[in-house]
Amino acid sequence: MDEAAPEADGRPSPDKPSPDKPSPDTASPDKPGPNKPGEAAPPPEKQLSACRLALTEEIAIAPSIPDIRGPGACGGGDLVRLEAIVLPDKRKVAVKPAAILRCTMASAIADWVRTDMVPLATSLGSTITDLDNFDSFECRGRNRVVGAMLSEHGKANALDVRALKLANGQSIGLTDRTISRDVRERVLHSVCSRFSTVLGPGSDWYHEDHIHLDLAQRRNDYRICQWNVWDPLPQIAPLLPAERPEEAPPREVAAKPEGKSEGKSEAKSEGAKDEADDQESAKPAAPVDKPAAHAGKSKPTTKKRR
Ligand SMILES: [Zn+2]
């Protein structure tokens, strides 16, 4: 924006004839002049990529959109707006909302749904109607951390998927513990064999409610597949202790109910040491007294991430 402004200001406006020199064209302003002065020539026809040529309307409704350049390193070329995936039987899976992706990523998504997710839905006795798109192109750092390495989302090379919706009304929430473990594992194995990055629950705090897929290129084709398919019921104790009630007695008193009555006479130094230990051990739990500060540290303010 800032860079374009001086050019726009300084450019002479050949479109506007000066008032004292009426040109013959002004007699018919509505007529679409074939050689309007000042009108930029149409850009030369771009060579279509192999991906673009292959991603036909038999496979996906994915019109090309103009390249995105910046800000910074964001953007990319050969972009499409993936609106729907066309299944082999011509039915469509709507991508909601439509996703801005590089052609190669859109093609990978279409192939994934057509080849692996259709049989999965069939085994559940239904067909897929919608792909729940949580996020596609967005210029930002990883996990929305400002200054972090540019996310693949900033290169239109990533898609966050929350669910696949079926014609029978069922929704396969990919991180939904109530969805059969077998179904979620089949999705996991499918995406991890197809995408170079898969991040889901258990990878970090940002992917508990969706699955991140991208085609990041790394040295030696290194791939990341981090998605813990949680059991329907958590089998581990909650990580955070229950909140300490305000009316609870001070920690030292609660920890040593008998300490006050005995021990004073015989082991004064022992008791003093114990008390020091107790305070030491109480420290890690201290944030429980400040739930706001604690929550701020462990929970992301926003769920969307990488
Ligand atoms: Zn993501």
CA of 137 to the centre of ligand 1 (A): 9
DSSP state of 141: B
Determine if the peptide bond prior to 71 is cis (ω within 30°).
Answer: yes
Whether residue 51 has pLDDT greater than 60: yes
From ligand 1's centre to the CA of 188, what distance in Å? 15
Amino acid letter, residue 185: E
Cα(285) to centroid(ligand 1), Å: 33
Residue 141: pLDDT band (50, 70, 90) is: confident
Q: Rounded CA gap, 60 and 93, in Å?
A: 9
φ, ψ of residue 65 in degrees (nearest 5)? -130, 160
Mean pLDDT of 50-77: 96
Is residue 218 within 8 Å of residue 196, measured between CB atoms? yes
Report residue 92's pLDDT band, with 50, 70 and 90 as the boundaries. Answer: very high
Residue 17 in this model has a pLDDT that exceeds 50: no
pLDDT at site 264: 42
Model confidence at 20: pLDDT above 50 = no
What's the CA gap between 80 and 54, in Å, rounded? 13
List the Cα angle 150/154/159 in 5-degree steps: 115
Taking only the tens place, the pLDDT of each residue in 97-138 is 999 999 999 999 999 999 999 999 999 999 999 999 999 999
pLDDT band at 44 (very low <50, low <70, confident <90, very high): low
Please give the model's pTM, rounded to 2 decimal places: 0.64
- Does residue 32 have a pLDDT over 60? no
Number of residues that make up the chain: 306
Rounded to whole angstroms, how far apart are CA atoms 227 and 262?
53
> pLDDT tens digit string along 235-278?
556 666 567 767 777 766 555 555 444 444 444 444 444 444 44
Ligand 1 mean position to 178 CA, how many Å?
23
The conformation of residue 81, written as its DSSP 8-state character, comes to E
Which one has a higher pLDDT value, 38 or 172? 172
Decide which of 71 and 237 is more confident: 71
- Sign of the CA dihedral 132, 222, 53, 156? positive
Query: If pLDDT is split at 50, 70 and 90, which confidence band does 217 have?
Result: very high
Better pLDDT: 8 or 118: 118
Ligand 1 centroid to residue 302 C-alpha, Å: 12
DSSP 189: H
Query: How far, CA to CA in Å, does 129 sit from each of 85, 87, 121, 183, 188?
Result: 10, 10, 10, 17, 20
Q: Are strands 79-86 and 64-65 parallel, antiparallel or unpaired?
A: antiparallel
- Measured CA to CA, the distance from residue 70 to residue 72 in angstroms comes to 5
pLDDT cut 90: percent of the chain above it: 54
Spell out the domain ranges in the chain: 55-226
- What is the distance in A from the centroid of ligand 1 to the CA of 216? 12
- When pLDDT is cut at 50, 70 and 90, the band that residue 233 belongs to is low
Q: How many A from CA of 26 to the centre of ligand 1?
A: 54
Q: How far is the CA of 306 from the centre of ligand 1 (A)?
A: 4
258: CA distance to ligand 1 center in Å? Answer: 54
pLDDT of residue 241: 59
pLDDT the model gives residue 128: 98
Does residue 190 surpass a pLDDT of 90?
A: yes
For residues 196 and 214, is the Cβ–Cβ distance under 8 A? yes
In angstroms, the CA 213 to CA 162 distance is: 11
> Which of these ranges, 26-40, 54-68, 93-107, has the smallest mean pLDDT?
26-40
